[in-house]
A and B are shown apart, each in its own frame.
Chain A
Amino acid sequence: MDKIPILRFGHFLLVTIQVDLYDRLALNLESDLIQMVSKTQARGVLIDISALSIVDSFMGRIIGNIAGMSKIMDAQTVVVGMQPAVAITLIELGLELKGVYTALNVEKGMSLLQSKISLPDEDLDNIE
């Protein structure tokens, strides 16, 4: 696998990270995702990390970068499904993922994005 699939749901993009990433793959994800945000005019990005057992400062920085870049392009990032052990470890490590929204699962992440972004009404109907 050399590309992580990015799915599109209406105004949102969803990336599910299934494996522990090689650095190059993670860097690819960063640029692919930003390209996609621009191409699709997405307003929100969901990164599902529920399958990730390790998030070190490198991975944390990639997530932070994606959030920062998306924000400049008017899209919000939500990290969903972080495992308890990963959360405890990141706090101890000192990485707080500032500027990134978090949610328990994809569904909750979606509704969080919807509440953060003011979409025109017809668009909202399209998402359902």
Chain B
Amino acid sequence: MIVVLNKESIPIDKEQDVVLFRNRVKEYTIKIGMGVVNQTKLITAASELVRNILKYAGKGTVLIEIISSGRQNGIRLVFSDKGPGISDVPLAMKDGFSTGKSLGLGLPGARRLVNEFDIKSTVGKGTTVTILKWKNG
């Protein structure tokens, strides 16, 4: 069973928010004593997803949660926007797929960097990506 110990919601609407948001996530990782490598993986994944919000939806919010399950602690981030949505999610999850003339690494790369990854998207309604990284994951 997963228990939420702490949560905070952060609005994202301009590029300066990226670095501020990353620092906030870092504070949380330090709070639960996550090691440097896992910290870096989580923050990098978070950075990719928050950039997608800015690039494709313009604005959105991120929910940061400290969670606990059994003896494990971890951090869960929920990125949501009310942007255009993604018509073909499996395609968007493929390495190298990009509608933004970019590398197409953000989504698939973020998935590789975390322990759990979930994406839900409806065209015209928006996109929600949830990632979870365990302290020792």
Contacts and interface: CB of A to CB of B under 8 A. Distances in A.
A55 B44 contact: yes
Nearest to B106: A57
Contact of A57 (B15, B26, B105): B105
A30 to B, nearest CB: 15
B126 interface: no
Interface string B10-41: 00000110110011001000000000110111
B103 A57 contact: yes
B132 to A, nearest CB: 16
Contacts of A120: none
B22 A93 contact: no
B56 to A, nearest CB: 14
Contact of A95 (B22, B26, B109): B109
B102 interface: yes
Contact of B18 (A23, A55, A60): A23
B43 to A, nearest CB: 5
Could you say which interface size class chain B belongs to?
A: 20 to 34
A53 B30 CA distance: 14
A61 B26 CA distance: 23
A88 interface: yes
B51 interface: yes
A84 B37 contact: yes
19 contacts: A20-B19, A20-B23, A21-B19, A23-B18, A24-B15, A54-B22, A54-B40, A54-B43, A54-B44, A56-B44, A56-B51, A57-B48, A85-B37, A85-B40, A85-B41, A86-B40, A89-B44, A93-B112, A94-B95
Interface of B: 15-16, 18-19, 22-23, 26, 36-37, 39-41, 43-44, 47-48, 51, 95, 102-103, 105-106, 108-110, 112-113
Interface of A: 20-24, 53-58, 60-61, 83-86, 88-89, 92-95
